[in-house]
Amino acid sequence: MRHIAIIGSGPAGYYTAEAAQKLWGDEVRVDIFDMLPVPYGLIRTGVAPDHQSIKGVSNRYESTNALDNVRFVGNVMIGEDISVAELQGLYDAVVLATGAPNDRPAGIAGEGLENVFGSAAFVGWYNGHPQFAKLNPDLSGRHAVVIGNGNVALDVARILTKTSGEFTGSDIVGHALHALAKSGIEHVTILGRRGPHQIAMTPKELGELGHLERAAPRVDPADLPDEADDAFLEPGQRKSVTHLRSFAGIPEAFRAEKPVEIEFDFFASPKAILGEGRVSGVEVERTRLDANGRADGTGESYVVPASLVVTCIGYKSSPIPGVPFEESAGRFANVDGRILPGLYCVGWARRGPSGTIGTNRPDGFSVVERIAEDIGLGSAKQGRAGFDTLAAERKLDVVTFRDWKKIEEAEVGRARDGAPREKFVDVDEMIRARKD
Ligand code: NAP
């Protein structure tokens, strides 16, 4: 028998469990731990609430849970309730699938001002992550600045500008829907330190900005490179740039019907966030690309007004004491997913925060291959029986998959009309729903 512990129940964790299940069938036992009483990590609290088709991938993870050889072990905080070293004593392999839950700081003055948030916090707020549910951003001002040119920046800009009606069918949490309905934001500036050819935005997500009910995107035609140069882009990127070109061509008459503008400010590198106590603007330096395609400051600077700033410039993993970590890359130090004997990482904890949900599938399968090479037929470790004994001794209030289904049923039961669920945003509420 092989005993595997996976820490983190997001996509990387579940794809790893699926791979182990496929490879070893009844000859493996996998425990998937999560600090929250609810599974699916990024699918639940990262993927945008109006992207329900992406969230549907959790059905696949649910079927991984259908067999007894994989179980969900929720409400267990690794490092507090049980250490990684203890898990290593119990399981043949421990896999860190902890994602990259922390915001990468921009490293500029003013990041600590009021109403300046990183995207982990802001996305967590509108997605009901218990850690950020009480963020309470002030949306009463007129001007939001979103820093970064990736898909998260697009998510944030879109969520900030949608009407309540456009959230029909989404699982945006009630507190965010309510706050957004009263929002005064009329202008969202998306700051990109490089140009249209360097965006990290995918075409489908970028195209959505062209179909919003009350908001229209604006791109300055002068920022667009020569159209002939689009031919050198890979096809996905070319499609994204085509969207930017079409945004640049939106007629003013069309804009006049849209009270909200989403402005792309390219070649604009944030230098400082300004304000006294609370944010009032972002100081930006105009850039040009150097020979290596990097942003090079021109010395020309200006201020973009801002009553709210959200930095969407990437994430980093949380280090764990005793586990080698690559600070600059924000992930665990590893070779092909191997960290130390018996200790592995997968997904964003292995690669850093890049790629789509699906990128984690081959990642999970590849780390299971490495584990198979290392552990062979497994050992006489105690696995889940050992964990259960320890959990009983420590009086841990473990949440099982069956418990989660009860929580889910309660969330579905209290959904507003047309919504798939109304999430609990508080751990105690989740636990209570499991017991009701
Ligand atoms: P990302 O794709 O890495 O984009 C980060 C952006 O921040 C880049 O434009 C980067 O510019 C910019 N940036 C970094 N440091 C900066 C700084 N100091 N000042 C100004 N700009 C800075 O990260 P992300 O948007 O957080 O997305 C993370 C991953 O999740 C990506 O793989 C993304 O595709 C994925 N995701 C997918 C979806 C979806 O498919 N619907 C939705 C959300 C997220 P440079 O290029 O100049 O470094």
Give yes or no for a contact between 426 and 130, defined as CB atoms under 8 angstroms apart. yes
192 CB-side CA count, 13 A: 26
Pocket of ligand 1, candidates 103, 273, 313, 359: which has the most ligand atoms within 8 Å of its Cβ, to mutate?
Answer: 313
Question: Is 30 among the domain residues?
Answer: yes
The CB of 236 under 6 Å from ligand 1? The reply is no
Give pLDDT, residue 301.
98
The CB of 200 under 6 Å from ligand 1? The reply is yes
Question: Is 64 among the domain residues?
Answer: yes
Return the residue whose CA atom lies nearest to atom 17 of ligand 1: 106
Question: Is 416 among the domain residues?
Answer: no
Domain's final residue, options 257, 289, 311: 311
Q: How far does the centroid of ligand 1 lie from the alpha carbon of residue 190, in Å?
A: 12
Q: Token pair for residue 370?
A: 């490495």
Domain's final residue, options 282, 311, 340: 311
Question: Is 170 among the domain residues?
Answer: yes
Q: How far does the centroid of ligand 1 lie from the alpha carbon of residue 197, in Å?
A: 14
**CATH code for the domain of 91:** 3.40.50.720
The CB of 49 under 6 Å from ligand 1? The reply is no
pLDDT one-digit tens code per residue, 320-360: 999 999 999 999 999 999 999 999 999 999 999 998 899 99
State yes or no: pLDDT of 435 exceeds 80.
no
First CA to last CA across the chain, in angstroms? 36
Pocket of ligand 1, candidates 151, 264, 354: which has the most ligand atoms within 8 Å of its Cβ, to mutate?
Answer: 151
Question: Is 426 among the domain residues?
Answer: no
Give pLDDT, residue 379.
84
Question: Is 190 among the domain residues?
Answer: yes
Which residue type is seen at 12? A
Render the burial of 196-207: b for 16+ CB within 10 Å, e for the rest: bbbbbbbbebbb
The CB of 106 under 6 Å from ligand 1? The reply is yes
3-state SS assignment for residue 115: coil
Among 47, 48, 115, 103, smallest CA distance to 313 is for 103
The CB of 313 under 6 Å from ligand 1? The reply is yes
Give the gyration radius of the chain's Cα atoms.
Answer: 23
Residues 58 and 166 in one domain: no
Residues 143 and 291 in one domain: yes
Whether the CA torsion 255, 303, 245, 48 is positive or negative: it is: negative
State yes or no: pLDDT of 436 exceeds 90.
no
Q: How far does the centroid of ligand 1 lie from the alpha carbon of residue 354, in Å?
A: 8
Residues 307 and 176 in one domain: yes
- C-alpha distances in Å from residue 165, one per residue of 161, 170, 357, 401, 413: 12, 10, 27, 33, 21
Give yes or no for a contact between 117 and 313, defined as CB atoms under 8 angstroms apart. no
Residues 170 and 120 in one domain: yes
The CB of 270 under 6 Å from ligand 1? The reply is yes
Return the residue whose CA atom lies nearest to atom 1 of ligand 1: 150
**CATH code for the domain of 126:** 3.50.50.60
Q: How far does the centroid of ligand 1 lie from the alpha carbon of residue 341, in Å?
A: 33
Residues 147 and 276 in one domain: yes
Widest pairwise Cα distance in the chain:
73
pLDDT one-digit tens code per residue, 204-246: 999 999 999 999 999 999 999 999 999 999 999 999 999 999 9
State yes or no: pLDDT of 164 exceeds 80.
yes
Please name the residue ranges forming H helices in 78-128: 84-90, 119-126
Bridge partner list, 7? 33, 96
Residues 392 and 282 in one domain: no
Q: Using the atom order of ligand 1, give the atom closest to the CA of residue 315.
A: 26
- C-alpha distances in Å from residue 128, one per residue of 295, 369, 402: 35, 35, 22
Domain span at residue 283 reads 105-311
Residues 109 and 237 in one domain: yes
Residues 147 and 290 in one domain: yes
Instruction: Report which DSSP code applies to 319.
Output: P
The CB of 128 under 6 Å from ligand 1? The reply is no
pLDDT one-digit tens code per residue, 265-283: 999 999 999 999 999 999 9
Q: How far does the centroid of ligand 1 lie from the alpha carbon of residue 106, in Å?
A: 12
- The strand pair at 295-305 and 308-311 is best described as unpaired
Residues 323 and 274 in one domain: no
Residues shown for the chain = 436
The CB of 208 under 6 Å from ligand 1? The reply is no
The CB of 63 under 6 Å from ligand 1? The reply is no
The CB of 193 under 6 Å from ligand 1? The reply is yes
Q: How far does the centroid of ligand 1 lie from the alpha carbon of residue 18, in Å?
A: 28
pLDDT one-digit tens code per residue, 93-135: 999 999 999 999 999 999 999 999 999 999 999 999 999 999 9
pLDDT one-digit tens code per residue, 357-395: 999 999 999 999 999 999 998 888 999 999 999 999 999
The CB of 149 under 6 Å from ligand 1? The reply is yes
Among 61, 90, 62, 60, smallest CA distance to 78 is for 90
Residues 92 and 120 in one domain: no
- C-alpha distances in Å from residue 383, one per residue of 5, 99, 262: 8, 24, 52
The span from the CA of 193 to the CA of 266, in Å, is: 6
Return the residue whose CA atom lies nearest to atom 9 of ligand 1: 149
Give pLDDT, residue 378.
81
| Residue that is written with structure tokens 């425990």 in the block | 31
Give yes or no for a contact between 170 and 49, defined as CB atoms under 8 angstroms apart. yes
Domains: count for the chain: 2
The span from the CA of 190 to the CA of 310, in Å, is: 10
The span from the CA of 390 to the CA of 381, in Å, is: 14
CA 48 to chain CA mean position, Å: 9
Residues 237 and 123 in one domain: yes
Residues 331 and 290 in one domain: no
The CB of 118 under 6 Å from ligand 1? The reply is no
Q: How far does the centroid of ligand 1 lie from the alpha carbon of residue 3, in Å?
A: 36
Return the residue whose CA atom lies nearest to atom 26 of ligand 1: 314
Q: How far does the centroid of ligand 1 lie from the alpha carbon of residue 31, in Å?
A: 32
Q: How far does the centroid of ligand 1 lie from the alpha carbon of residue 227, in Å?
A: 24
Question: Is 421 among the domain residues?
Answer: no
The CB of 205 under 6 Å from ligand 1? The reply is yes
State yes or no: pLDDT of 400 exceeds 90.
yes
Helix then strand then coil, in percent of the chain rounded to 5, is 40, 25, 40
The CB of 57 under 6 Å from ligand 1? The reply is no
Question: Is 158 among the domain residues?
Answer: yes
Q: Write out the DSSP string of 204-225.
A: HHHHGGGG-SSEEEEE-GGGSP
Residues of the chain with pLDDT > 90: what percent? 97
